[in-house]
Chains A and B, each alone.
Chain A
Amino acid sequence: MLGFAALIPTYDALPTYDALNMHIEPLKAEEIRDPELNALIARCEVLGVPDAVFPRILARVPAYAKALLRALLVSHVEGNMDHRLKEVIRVQLARTAGDPYFAGLRSARARQLGLDEETIAAGSARFEDDARFTAAEKWALRYAREMYLNPEKVDAAFYAEGKRHYSEAQIMELGAFIAFHYGMQVFMRVVGAHHREGA
Chain B
Amino acid sequence: MALDPDRIDAEFYDALRRHYSDEEIVELGAFIGFNIGYHTFFGTLDFYPMFSPDGRLVSQEESARIYGAKPVSLEKTNEAADKRR
- Which A residues lie at the B interface, using CB under 8 A? 23-25, 57-58, 60-61, 64, 68, 98, 147-152, 154-156, 158-159, 175-176, 178-187, 189-191
| A and B contact pairs by CB, cutoff 8 A, 23 listed | A25-B22, A57-B26, A58-B30, A60-B26, A68-B30, A149-B84, A151-B74, A152-B78, A159-B44, A178-B37, A179-B41, A180-B37, A183-B34, A184-B30, A184-B33, A184-B34, A184-B37, A186-B33, A186-B36, A187-B1, A187-B29, A187-B32, A190-B8
Contact A147 B33 (CB under 8 A): no
Closest to A188 in B: B33
Contact B78 A151 (CB under 8 A): yes
Closest to A62 in B: B23
Chain B, residues 17-52, CB within 8 Å of chain A (1/0): the string is 000001101110110111111101101111000000
B31 CB to nearest chain A CB (Å): 8
Q: Complex: how many Å from CA A36 to CA B44?
A: 35
Q: Decide if the interface of chain B is mainly helix, strand, loop or mixed.
A: helix
Q: Taking A23-B10, A23-B13, A183-B34 as contacts, is the C-beta distance between A148 and B26 under 8 angstroms?
A: no
Contact A151 B22 (CB under 8 A): no
Residues of A within 8 A of B81 (CB): 148-151
Residues of B within 8 A of A189 (CB): 5
Interface range, B side: 20 to 34
B81 CB to nearest chain A CB (Å): 5
Q: Complex: how many Å from CA A24 to CA B26?
A: 8
Residues of A within 8 A of B78 (CB): 150-152
Contact A187 B33 (CB under 8 A): yes
- Which B residues lie at the A interface, using CB under 8 A? 1-2, 5, 8, 10, 13, 22-23, 25-27, 29-30, 32-38, 40-41, 43-46, 74, 77-78, 81, 84-85
Q: Decide if the interface of chain A is mainly helix, strand, loop or mixed.
A: helix
B20 CB to nearest chain A CB (Å): 11
A58 CB to nearest chain B CB (Å): 6
A27 CB to nearest chain B CB (Å): 10
Contact A149 B85 (CB under 8 A): yes
Residues of B within 8 A of A64 (CB): 26-27, 30
